[in-house]
Amino acid sequence: MKPLAKSILAASTALGLAGAAQAQDAEIWTYWASGAEADALTALMGVTAEQYPDTPLATRVITGNTAEMRRALQTAFLGGQPPAVYQSGMAQELKSFVDAGRIAPIDAYVEGVEGAAELPDGVRRVVSVDGQLYGVPLNMHVVSNVFYNRAIFDELGLEAPANAEEFQAVAAAIEEAGYQAMGNAGGPGWTMYTTYSFLYGGLGEDGYYALGSGEMAFTDPAVKAALTEWSETYAEHFMDDWTGYTWSDTGGVFANGDVAMYQVGDWLSAYLADAGWDYGDQYGFFPAPGMDGSVVMQMDVMAMTSGIEEAAAEAGADFLRASLSPEGQAAFNNVKVSVAPNPLAATDGYSAYGKAAAEEIGSAAAVIPNLKNLLPVRLGDEFGTLIAAYAEAPDADDLDGILETLEDMRQEMLETGEFVRW
């Protein structure tokens, strides 16, 4: 059992689970506090109110992200007052609370929802544990596309590259013309994002999941080969001083025409729309090297707590049904500028980019989850930190040391049972 799961379970046991069954107002806890995210949740709540007017819920904002949500939930479980539903990440974020017995399986609640049976396999795998569904996937963001400046590509007579070799040639031509080739942002997460396509291309789908499940060694030659290709293709072409930029700062550099390409989640499309850029005119996108017709995505999830009083559970179940319905998914994703996991959700409200991304996902050979969410949290954080530091000054000897460090952690976590076979 993971450390987080142990602490939640111990706390719940110490106070007695009966406290969680006290009468309480049904609430949804979220960390979407502003902007399109908050507006998207409001749109979804509107659909829920239309479909289930007799089971209203209130919304409480937990400021921050998944880390703050975990802390708030632990406190709520201690006090016997958890929400009916809360916003979660996928995979490991769900698994800890499943291990602790603090969230409920939801198969029975959403079984009859139109489109529920057609969720992509890669989506269902990371909202399920031991064959049971524990979360409703709200949206999908593609994180394996490279955005490119069409004016720069047209000026230099460049075509979108189809593989790592072509990418390296394109990057060299861009730099020779006086532009910076590839955007990136500081912090452990953003650089790690850019490795996923190379790991997928080098390891294949089974190998990618095996790495995320702890079944493949980080010192496996295929892992080193994939990250070496990433280093030569991407890291050596990152823009100057990228470690001091946030993702949106780099979005500004891209929108100013100072950098020609940028791989980040497709929330960049909303940023570019605000900057007056239109998909197909000022910018386009192409799959990152190694994807071979597949996509890497990440998503937000809604989960329902267990042990709550009956009225709250009923309200939570109705909200989950509405959230997975084609109507709820369309309302949410039209505003969030993301793609609905439910393939029956209408796409006519999507932006031009959103429609292109939905088509890409719909025709993908495989829909693959973000690797960081598959790994135990501590290992994923360490991978991101080490690979970001490495990208500042790539060196083959340093890569060997990174992989050995990660392999030591993998061995330790295998012994403590922290991996999940997704």
Whole-number percent of the chain with pLDDT over 70 = 94
Rounded Cα gap, residues 333 and 348, in angstroms: 11
Q: Does residue 143 contact residue 298 with C-beta atoms inside 8 Å?
A: yes
pLDDT band at 25 (very low <50, low <70, confident <90, very high): low
Cβ-Cβ contacts under 8 Å for 308 (sequence gap 6 or more): 20, 21, 24, 82, 84, 316
pLDDT band at 208 (very low <50, low <70, confident <90, very high): very high
Residues 233-253: what's their mean pLDDT? 96
Calpha distance 30→140 (Å, rounded): 17
Q: How many helices (H) and strands (E) does the chain have?
A: 19, 14
Please name the fold of domain 3-141+299-361. D-Maltodextrin-Binding Protein; domain 2 (3.40.190)
Q: Are 324 and 224 in contact (CB under 8 A)?
A: no
End-to-end CA, the chain = 16
Residues 137/138/139/140 CA torsion (nearest 10 deg): -10
- pLDDT tens-place string over residues 358-383: 999 989 999 999 999 899 989 999 99
Q: What is the mean pLDDT of residues 412-416?
A: 96
Per-residue model confidence (pLDDT) at position 5: 47
Q: For 312-339, what is each residue's pLDDT tens digit?
A: 999 999 999 999 999 999 999 998 889 9
CA 198, CA 218: separation in Å to the nearest integer? 14
Q: If DSSP states are collapsed to H, E and C, what string results for 58-108?
A: EEEECCCCHHHHHHHHHHHHHHCCCCCEEEECCCHHHHHHHHCCCECCCHH
Compute the mean pLDDT over every residue in the chain, rounded to the nearest whole number. 90
Q: Which position has the higher pLDDT, 24 or 214? A: 214
Domain boundaries, the chain: 3-141+299-361, 143-296+372-416
Residue 199 has pLDDT above 60, yes or no: yes
Rounded to an integer, what distance in angstroms lies between the CA atom of residue 407 and that of residue 404?
A: 5
Average pLDDT value for residue range 219-243: 97
Q: Is 166 exposed, middle or buried (0-12, 13-18, 19+ CB in 10 A)?
A: middle
* pLDDT at 122 (0 to 100): 85
pLDDT of residue 17: 35
Residue type, 104: A
Q: Reply yes or no on whether the pLDDT at 57 is more than 70.
A: yes
User: Would you state the structure tokens that stand for residue 204, as one six-digit string?
Assistant: 């294949």
Are 332 and 139 in contact, with CB atoms under 8 Å apart?
Answer: yes
Contacts of 36 (CB under 8 A, 6+ apart): 270, 335, 336, 337
Q: Which residue(s) pair with 140 in the sheet?
A: 339
pLDDT-based confidence at residue 275 (cuts at 50, 70, 90)? very high
Determine the average pLDDT of the residues in 9-30: 51
Any idea which of 32-36, 190-194, 402-406 has the lowest mean pLDDT? 32-36
Tokens of 160: 């979108």
d(CA 313, CA 44): 18
Cβ(418)–Cβ(376) under 8 Å? yes
Place of tokens 């179940």: 317
Label residue 307 by pLDDT band (50, 70, 90).
confident
Q: What is the pLDDT of residues 135-153, one digit of tens each?
A: 999 999 999 999 999 999 9
Closest by CA position to 87, among listed 122, 48, 137, 157: 137
pLDDT for position 22: 38
Nearest C-alpha neighbor of 230 from the set 202, 268, 261? 202
Residue 100, exposed/middle/buried by CB under 10 A (0-12, 13-18, 19+)?
buried
Mean pLDDT confidence for 61-69: 85
Upper half-sphere CA count for residue 287 (Cβ side, 13 Å): 24
**In 3D, which of 171, 189, 175 has the Cα closest to residue 288?**
171
Report pLDDT for 12.
Answer: 38
Q: What is the mean pLDDT of residues 247-258?
A: 96
Indicate if 143-296+372-416 has the same CATH topology as 3-141+299-361. yes
Q: Indicate the pairing of strand 295-298 with strand 367-369.
A: parallel
What homologous superfamily is domain 143-296+372-416 in, according to CATH?
Periplasmic binding protein-like II (3.40.190.10)
SS3 196: helix
Give dist(CA 195, CA 216) in Å, integer. 17
CA angle 200, 201, 203 (to 5 degrees): 65
Write out pLDDT tens, residues 113-126.
999 999 988 899 89
CA distance 353 to 274: 13
Cβ(291)–Cβ(201) below 8 Å? yes
CB neighbours (10 Å) of residue 243?
A: 16
Question: Which amino acid, 343?
Answer: P
